[in-house]
Structure 1
Amino acid sequence: MKRLTLTALLAASLLAGCSSNDQVVQDDPPSKLYQDAEAQLNQGAWITAIEKLEALDSRYPFGAYSDQVQLDLIYAYYKNDDLALAEATIDRFMRMHPAHSESDWVVYMRGLVHMGQDRSLIHDILRMERDDRDPQPARKAFADFRRLLERYPNSEYAADAKARMTALKNRLANYELAAADYYIRREAWVAAVNRCQALQRDFPDTEAARASLPLMLKAYEKLGLEEPAERTRKLIAKNPA
């Protein structure tokens, strides 16, 4: 419930604009505000750019720069690691402009935002790999990039999206492998078999799928299931580590 409340507050804050920014951003004409915001974007001054763009979005929600302001806010939020605000802005833009000429870029950015949400700052700093982390943001990112390829196969972002899907597929497969290993250590043999089978079904062309075969064999042996165990031995022989 608290998470839903926080999301609602973020969305409400976004739609209403940032009142504190209205106090610090000068009341210039929209053309001047937008020009200044673009200059800040080009310099990588994300916070200042966001302040000016939010002021524009709040003061002139239906002005001449409205669409571009929202697109720029998506980018600035993403670069500033304000991922919740970036996602809220993307969802708002997609609702209001389902057939916009920049829709492929918006879907692509949604994938990048979800990939960003799959990161952990502590893990990045310590260069730690944690395959047991909740992969829900990675699943969302994978779905976003797949949607981009299905709807906009000729998009200039399609090649990068396809490459990112490969990385995400390995991330998701490694999570399933970590889960199967956990069940093996807990001696939950049926659950381990189910995880291994799902991994081999959904991500058959990954290293994790091959690494899951010995786990599945052990589970079958512990369950006394000789026939599937023998099939698994043959698969291991055909797919040596």
Structure 2
Amino acid sequence: MSLTSWHLSRLAPAPLLLGLMAVPLAGCETLDSINPFSSSKAPVAEPAGPPTAEGLYNNGIDALHTKRYKLAVSQFETIQQNFPYSGYTANAQLMEGYAYYLQQSYPDAVQQIDRFLQLHPTSDDAAYAYYLRALCYYEQIADIQRDQQGTVQAMNALQDVVTRFPDTAYARDARLKIDLCRDHLAGKEMLVGRYYERQHEYAAAINRYQRVVQDFQTTNHAAEALARLVEVDLKLGLTDQAHRNASVLGYNYPGSPWYQDAYNNLRSAHALQPSDVPPGQPIGAADTGAPPAATSATAPAQAQAPVPVTQKRGFFGRIVHSVF
């Protein structure tokens, strides 16, 4: 049976909801609505006698409903070992990965999902499998104080979902999570940049701030990065460069408190120019209509304003799944 028979029960800024069905299968805009297994049919009691693939599968689904994840894994594994050619075997492989995911055994989940994809690369459930695999990496993202290789890995896995299945609910949710990953990576760059600045290692700090401006200009950290560049430039006596960075900041984020800080720093350094627009005034008040010229130390002048992230819940908060 195919997971594509599943349907989204509701759309919300969370994960997809997994509804499990007794026999054959069926996560995103909220994972509260994505597992493809949904049916009003109750698990069938296994008759007396030797176990069957159907009975084992229903036992596994029932174990998932009651959060007995280790039992679910054992039931799905038994199907694969004893009934390798059953119509339930492919679903059991994928549901074993899901059971590992629910008990936060993410490496085991990824290994099992990879096995499913290797054996069934053209399955109708491949989109769900790739999405579940990406969630396993996403849930392991570390705090910005730690190495962010896991964030890069999660972002790559999420992008794989978007590339392979662009018109699915899985891809829509993956795009939101990619934005959060990018924001997380930018936050790491800012953390390191501020550290270097406190240590008076200004060249290293500039490199970090420039990366945020150039590579993460649609994140919430871009305005601060430009303001920090102004700050460091003034410390180095690079008045013209500080002014250019402030101009880009003022053009793209005129109402940001970071532009207020940059403007005040320029004023304290006697580096303001007649064309500079004070914070709070419309940009057209002292603007020719064209953005400031970009330099090697700034973002492109046409940098977009930050895209609002709609799924902000305490970053990487634990996703709650429902199994009904």
Task: Give the TM-score normalised by structure 2.
Answer: 0.58
- Deviation of 1:137 after TM superposition, in Å, equals 2.0
Q: Does 1:65 align with 2:88?
A: yes
Q: Which residue of 1 aligns with 2:34?
A: none
- Deviation of 1:27 after TM superposition, in Å, equals 7.1
Cα deviation 1:177-230 (Å, max 9, x = unaligned): 112112212222122111111111221122211111222223333444343222
Range 37-46 or range 189-198, more displaced: 37-46
Q: 2:109 aligns with which of 86, 92, 100?
A: 86
1:119-198 equivalences under 5 Å are 130-198=143-211
Q: 1:32 aligns with which of 47, 52, 55?
A: 55
What amino acid sits opposite 1:106 in the alignment?
Answer: A
Alpha-carbon spacing, 1:189–1:48, altered in 2? closer, same or farther (3 Å): same
Aligned alpha-carbon RMSD (Å): 2.2
Cα deviation 1:88-127 (Å, max 9, x = unaligned): 11222223322221111111112211111115xxxxxxxx
What amino acid sits opposite 1:83 in the alignment?
Answer: Y
Cα deviation 1:8-59 (Å, max 9, x = unaligned): xxxxxxxxxxxxxxxxxx9733332222112212333212111212233344
Rounded Cα–Cα distance in structure 1 between residues aligned with 2:133 and 2:244: 42
Q: 2:129 aligns with which of 84, 93, 106?
A: 106
What amino acid sits opposite 1:110 in the alignment?
Answer: R
Rounded Cα–Cα distance in structure 1 between residues aligned with 2:202 and 2:84: 57
Q: Does 1:46 align with 2:52?
A: no
Q: 5+ unaligned residues in a row in structure 2: which ranges? A: 1-48, 258-324
Task: Kindly indicate whether the alpha-carbon contact (under 8 Å) linking 1:118 and 1:135 is maintained by their aligned counterparts in 2.
Answer: yes
Q: 1:55 aligns with which of 42, 67, 78?
A: 78
Rounded Cα–Cα distance in structure 1 between residues aligned with 2:95 and 2:88: 10
Rounded Cα–Cα distance in structure 2 between residues aligned with 1:216 and 1:61: 61
Q: Which residue of 1 aligns with 2:100?
A: 77
Q: Which residue of 1 aligns with 2:263?
A: none
Rounded Cα–Cα distance in structure 2 between residues aligned with 1:104 and 1:152: 6
Secondary structure of 1:117's partner?
coil
- Deviation of 1:62 after TM superposition, in Å, equals 4.7
What amino acid sits opposite 2:195 in the alignment?
Answer: Y
Q: Does 1:234 align with 2:247?
A: yes
Higher relative contact order (CA 8 A, sep 6+): 2
Higher helix proportion (structure 1 or 2): 1
Give me the identity figure in percent: 27
Structure with larger Rg: 2
1:194-213 equivalences under 5 Å are 194-213=207-226
Task: Kindly indicate whether the alpha-carbon contact (under 8 Å) linking 1:132 and 1:179 is maintained by their aligned counterparts in 2.
Answer: no
- Deviation of 1:60 after TM superposition, in Å, equals 3.9
Alpha-carbon spacing, 1:28–1:135, altered in 2? closer, same or farther (3 Å): same
Q: 5+ unaligned residues in a row in structure 1: which ranges? A: 1-25, 120-129
